[in-house]
Amino acid sequence: MPPSALAATDSPILRTQLPGPNARRIIAADERLISPSYTRSYPLVAQRGRGIVVEDVDGNEFFDFSAGIAVTSTGHCHPEVVAAIQKQAAELIHMSGTDFYYPQLTELAARLSRIAPMPGPHRVHYGNSGAEAVEAAFKLARYHTKRQHIIAFHGAFHGRTMGALSLTCSKVQQRRRFAPLVPGVVHVPYPNLYRRPAGTEPEQYARDTARYIEDWVFRTEVPPEECAAIIVEAIQGEGGYLPAPSAFLQELRRICDKHGILLIIDEVQSGMGRTGKWWAIEHSGVAPDMIAVAKGIASGLPLSVLITRAEIMDWLPGSHASTFGGNPVAIAAALATIDIIEREAMQNAKEVGDHILNRIYDWPQRLPLVGDVRGKGLMIGVEFVADKHTKAPAGEQRDHIVELAFEKGILFLGCGPNTLRICPPLIVTIPQADLALDVLEDCIKRVGSGKYHRPSWGEEVGS
């Protein structure tokens, strides 16, 4: 089948039992040759993609509602992105922007400066991944302020390199046997409106959660004058697709301003139009000092950017750099991606996201397994509970729902202990979203009825 045929697919097409024979052969080789530290939720072996459709090595076609973990923002192999990559690859692939100059470095920086969520002027630092953007922010915060402590949040995921991992507080397995981590990091509670104490008002609860930093941390653990930065996700990703309330973010800004602390916003998963705005922080009206950007910025090519107010990025040559950061081919993909998001995809994310939320808002009332639905744009979480009163997490059932959806041709992924994320490419259509939601609701009902039996591959992949 020619790749162009995938674009016309209006529903998943399953041609073999899953996984098919070719997929089984590759998975067997993967088990011998590839690091066992990778996490796989189901046995998808991808071969090609167009739009929201991914075809595996056996010719099965799936609707991708994970977007490669919120990376393929313009869909798989968008023609404009592919053309930009091909053109640049034929001219210059690499010369290292840390030692030489590229016109592309300043071109993308100027585009990002125009859409940055804080007043300019700005400076940018290029890397290859979200973790690298966070590492740069961590180092720059210490360098600029001459302070040593960083405050991060329970449930946060900022990456797995040693500095980023020290800020991450999502799953214990991510930190197991890697201590000692980078010292000077303190983790504090992150607001979860669904699980807030009974009888508390949402806005006051959000403000009180932020004030814990002043009321407790600054009194007992970290002198405020020794705190370099607070880093937070405007919407926690791996923590369960939890939007930070505006009141919480506004209170963090107040604390930072009062004590001369930098506010770093991790927009690695939530940025680049995914929430219907360029940046999730814009929904709160808060201006950060730095933002970490990656994932959806280049539609699948490795690129990350740390954007700061210009006066903050005051480190001297040699302080921090990356050989491949700001690669010309990746920047070409990013420039094309920004064009597409600006022209149509960001508005589409808002419209289709609103449609999805309107369709599923009553799931907590109608479906016994669903405790909460939440999100902005096309960054939506569905949280599963075993009991509506106790809100006991139903993580195992969530995993079964993800597996069953895969068997029906829809690719979802979990996040947090018991949440399923809905994060398709920003070019998804309402009919495609409706089809995926029909499948998801059916899967929830089947698993909730106890009639679902895990496939033979379920325990193997899940481990």
Tell whether 359 and 271 lie within a shared domain: no
Check residue 10 and give its pLDDT: 82
**Sign of the dihedral through C-alpha 295, 276, 425, 120:** negative
CATH number of residue 268's parent domain: 3.40.640.10
Domain total of the chain: 2
The pLDDT, as a whole number, for residue 1 is: 37
Tell me which residue of 426, 335, 423, 342 sits closest to 51, measured CA to CA.
426
The answer on 448 and 358 residing in a single domain is yes
Q: Which of 326, 353, 386 is the last residue of a domain?
A: 326
Phi–psi pair at 134, nearest 5 degrees: -70, -40
Measured distance CA(242)–CA(249) in Å, rounded: 13
Domain edge (last residue) among 299, 326, 353: 326
Provide the whole-model pTM: 0.95
Using 50 as the pLDDT threshold, list the residues of the chain that sit under it: 1-5, 463
* Angle of the 79-89 helix axis to the 328-340 helix axis, nearest 10: 160
CA-to-CA distance for 339 and 410, rounded, in angstroms? Answer: 28
Same domain, 124 and 241: yes
Note whether 321 and 427 are same-domain residues.
no
The pLDDT of residue 457 is 79
Give me 280's structure tokens: 């999730």
In a domain, 355, yes or no: yes
Q: In DSSP terms, which residues pair with 63 in a beta bridge? A: 53, 410
Residue 53: alpha-carbon gap to chain centroid: 20
Shared-domain flag, residues 316 and 378 = no
Burial class of residue 178 (count of CB atoms within 10 Å of its CB; 0-12, 13-18, 19+) = exposed
Whether 298 and 206 map to the same domain: the answer is yes
